[in-house]
Structure 1
Amino acid sequence: MAPSSTPRTPDPLTTEVVELIGTVVVRYHEEYDEAAARHSLTGAQARVLALLAREPLPMRRIAERLKCEPSNVTGIVDRLAARRLVERRPDPDDRRVKLAAVTPEGRATAERLRESLHFAREPLGRLSPAERTTLRDLLRRMLGEGSGEGFGE
């Protein structure tokens, strides 16, 4: 049977869960931006630095992950490079492509930033390991990671 093209009205529990997720997202971004500012970074710069602390990436991939235009990423990377937090280097697999990569100072800054984020640590710490595992698994399932299912599927 084909799914209905008419959106159904969410039940009160679904509405409450969506609102709670929204509140978590807002609080996370507020704290993230405040923590970034303490390191003299914008929120966008901090997010790029965090991405690059995991692995060097081409500008296009950074833009995809941040859901923005590559030209925006170029400016952010330029500002981070001016502070010697990131550098551009050739991609070893395709020398026509430049990768943005953290410098040792950038990695240390990303680590200090990550350590300064306290939102949800205390509330999550009050959950048992089993509850945190369940929450993680449910969030992954909502995002379609690992189960083959995502929103609307």
Structure 2
Amino acid sequence: MATRPDPLTREVVELIGTVMARYHDEYEEAAAEYALTGSQARVLGLLSQEPMPMRRIAQRLKCEPSNVTGIVDRLEARGLVERRPDPADRRVKLAAPTDEGRATASRLRDALDFAREPLAELSAEERTMLRDLLRRMLGAEGT
């Protein structure tokens, strides 16, 4: 039989959920400003960090590779992403942002004020502590 979380744990979980919901809403709004869906914006953001094969994008987004193929197709049609051979394995295609894709991803990141504004109210020491606690909660996955 599972034990019920204590009130403090329940409150922390609810606060994390609220933060996630607000971030998701703002991300969707920012994406819409560029006529992108939230999923398209997330893929573009991932690819702006490094080109990657569809399978890895799907793993990072926790979705099916076929979904990623459709998203990349639409981004490619808009000139934001291109497919290119992987230099390490020419049989594998990498999705990579174009110059316009990188610029759009950068503008999207800059448009996300939700986290930046509240975090600015915390000292550097508090932000470091929060980062370290979140990394600890996520284990190796969060680093």
Give me the TM-score of the superposition, normalised by structure 2.
0.97
Report deviation, 1:146. 8.1
Pick aligned residue for 2:63 from 49, 65, 68: 68
Larger radius of gyration: 1
Residue 122 (structure 1) shift: 1.2
| Structure in which a larger fraction of residues adopt helix | 2
Aligned partner of 2:97 in structure 1 is: 102
SS class of match (1:144): helix
Query: How big is the alpha-carbon RMSD for the aligned residues of Structure 1 and Structure 2?
Result: 1.2
Match runs of 1:123-138 below 5 Å: 123-138=118-133
| Gap regions ≥5 residues in structure 1 | 1-5, 148-153
Structure 1 outlier segments of 4+, above 4 Å:
none
Instruction: Report the equivalent of 1:77.
Output: 72
Aligned length: 142
% same residue: 75
Aligned mate of 1:33, from 10, 24, 28: 28
Task: Sort the Cα spacing of 1:79 and 1:116 in 2 relative to 1 into closer, same or farther, 3 A.
Answer: same
CA-to-aligned-CA distance 1:6-44 (integer Å, 9 cap, x gap): 422110000000000000000000000000000110000
**What do the CA deviations read for 1:91-136 (whole angstroms, capped 9, x no partner)?**
0111110000000000000000000010021110000000000000
Gaps of 5+ in 2: none
Give yes or no for the alignment of 1:7 onto 2:7: no
TM-score by length of 1: 0.90
SS at 2:92 equivalent:
strand
